[in-house]
């Protein structure tokens, strides 16, 4: 008998929860009961609406349903991590609560898993109901991150993914606080494959990923998976030093060998502004890394579970 854990991060999902619960249980019940059993783990990521009550109710009526209730909103990537930490399955599937990832694809993932793949991720073929802006930023984001980092993060994938226990245990050893789960899964290697699917639009409710959170995720991804910005900073610093050196020689020449040395104010201003600007830029990049080092060194728990239900 193989146990499959389905992990669902939920943040203010009362509008979709009942339908999600139904669709997930229906889909998992299609699996042959002689070979497979399943558990559904809902991670309530500090919802301010009725999500927790709905999950609790569901857990009361069904042994397979479990709930981790966070003490506050810790974010999608940590909600996923908590679910993966607490699951018992021989394989774990992470799926969004909003039914954008069709539950039926889980069966295709399990099929691939039974063929011997360790990681099966969902690859989005078509993304219905998402803004042109989101599609455009996503496209360039994957271009940039794959350019900058050593690991190949498959494009058009999200966190909808199945992981085998062995791969999962390796993943769980990574306890960094700034988490870009997609990249971390790509990093562990193993036998990875994908199933393609059409991404539906949200069943109900609104996106819980406003631009601010998207930018946060993108900077975590780049700064955790690449030192290239530091290299660029060094390179820019080097170029500026060369330019500054030329400028110094030029200024001295004007001062010593000509009589027109009060002029050149324009040049001076440009040089100061340019160099000042570049220094601030480089400091900003370094600051991004230092801030993350500071965050990691505190070694705080990644998340705090207030209640565990059904475990
Ligand atoms: N989510 C979460 N914590 C957050 C934000 C989102 O657990 O702080 C969950 C959310 O409930 C959903 C999933 O992460 O199950 C993906 O969020 P959403 O569908 O809003 O993102 P989008 O599909 O718009 O990128
Ligand atoms: Mg969504």
Domain harbouring 19, CATH code? 3.90.550.10
From the CA of 12, give the closest atom in ligand 1: 11
91 and 234 co-located in one domain: no
**184 vs 191: CA distance, rounded Å:** 14
Task: Give me the long-range contacts of 13-16 (CB less than 8 A, separation at least 24).
Answer: 13/47, 13/49, 13/51, 13/97, 13/98, 13/205, 13/208, 14/47, 14/49, 14/50, 14/51, 14/54, 14/205, 15/204, 15/205, 16/97, 16/98, 16/99, 16/202, 16/203, 16/204, 16/205
Last residue of a domain, one of 210, 245, 272: 210
Determine, yes or no, domain membership for 215: no
45 and 166 co-located in one domain: yes
98 Cβ inside 6 Å of ligand 1: yes
Token pair 């062995």 in the structure block, residue: 166
The half-sphere exposure of 27 on its side-chain side, counting CA atoms within 13 A, is 23
**91 vs 113: CA distance, rounded Å:** 8
Last residue of a domain, one of 210, 239, 255: 210
pLDDT digits (tens, 9 = 90+) for 88-139: 999 999 999 999 999 999 999 999 999 999 999 999 887 766 778 888 888 8
Residue 249's domain comprises 228-297
75 and 149 co-located in one domain: yes
**259 vs 18: CA distance, rounded Å:** 83
Last residue of a domain, one of 145, 177, 210: 210
**209 vs 215: CA distance, rounded Å:** 10
pLDDT band at residue 248 under the 50/70/90 scheme: confident
pLDDT of residue 240: 81
DSSP string of 213-254, one letter each residue:
HHHHHHHHHHHHH--HHHHHHHHHHHHHHHHHHHHHHHHHHH
pLDDT digits (tens, 9 = 90+) for 181-234: 999 999 999 999 999 998 888 888 888 888 888 888 888 888 888 878 888 887
pTM of the model: 0.82
52 and 124 co-located in one domain: yes
Instruction: Name the residue at shortest CA distance from atom 13 of ligand 1.
Output: 96
CA distances from 12 to 19, 50, 113, 240, 272 (A): 14, 8, 31, 49, 50
95 and 173 co-located in one domain: yes
Instruction: Name the residue at shortest CA distance from atom 19 of ligand 1.
Output: 207
Ligand 1 pocket check: which of 134, 137, 208 to mutate, most ligand atoms within 8 Å of Cβ? 208
25 Cβ inside 6 Å of ligand 1: no
67 and 196 co-located in one domain: yes
- Looking at the structure of the chain, the number of domains it has is 2
Length of the chain equals 311
From the CA of 130, give the closest atom in ligand 1: 24
Instruction: Name the residue at shortest CA distance from atom 24 of ligand 1.
Output: 207
Strand 36-44, strand 2-10: pairing: parallel
pLDDT band at residue 261 under the 50/70/90 scheme: low
Candidates 185, 198, 217; CA nearest to 156 is: 198
Residues 6+ apart with CB under 8 A from 64: 25, 37, 38, 39, 40
131 Cβ inside 6 Å of ligand 1: no
204 and 273 co-located in one domain: no
pLDDT band at residue 28 under the 50/70/90 scheme: very high
Candidates 157, 156, 183; CA nearest to 171 is: 183
119 CB burial (10 A radius; 0-12, 13-18, 19+): buried
10 Cβ inside 6 Å of ligand 1: yes
């Amino acid at each position: 008998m193989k146990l499959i854990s389905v992990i669902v991060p939920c943040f203010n999902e009362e509008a979709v929860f009942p339908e999600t619960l139904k669709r997930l249980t229906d889909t998992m019940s299609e699996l042959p009961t002689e070979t497979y059993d399943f558990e559904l783990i809902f991670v309530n990521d500090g919802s301010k609406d009725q999500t927790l009550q709905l999950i609790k109710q569901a857990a009361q009526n069904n042994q397979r349903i479990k709930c981790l209730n966070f003490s506050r909103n810790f974010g999608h990537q940590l909600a996923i991590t908590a679910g993966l930490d607490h699951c018992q399955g021989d394989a774990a599937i992470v799926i969004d609560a909003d039914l954008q990832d069709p539950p039926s694809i889980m069966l295709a993932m399990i099929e691939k898993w039974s063929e011997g793949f360790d990681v099966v991720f969902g690859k989005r073929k078509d993304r219905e109901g998402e803004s042109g802006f989101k599609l455009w930023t996503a496209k360039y984001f994957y271009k940039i991150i794959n350019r900058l980092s050593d690991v190949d993060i498959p494009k058009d994938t999200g966190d909808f993914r199945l992981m085998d226990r062995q791969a999962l245990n390796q993943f769980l050893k990574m306890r960094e606080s700034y988490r870009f789960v997609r990249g971390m899964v790509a990093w562990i290697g193993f036998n990875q494959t994908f199933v393609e699917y059409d991404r539906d639009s949200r069943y109900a409710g609104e996106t819980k990923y406003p631009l601010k959170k998207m930018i946060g995720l993108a900077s975590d991804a780049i700064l955790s998976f690449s030192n290239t910005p530091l290299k660029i900073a060094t390179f820019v610093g080097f170029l500026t030093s060369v330019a500054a050196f030329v400028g110094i020689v030029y200024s001295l020449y004007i001062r010593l060998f000509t009589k027109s040395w009060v002029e050149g104010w324009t040049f001076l201003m440009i040089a100061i502004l340019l160099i000042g600007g570049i220094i601030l830029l480089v400091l900003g990049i370094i600051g991004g890394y230092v801030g993350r080092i500071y965050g990691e060194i505190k070694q705080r728990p990644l998340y705090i579970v207030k209640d565990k239900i059904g475990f």
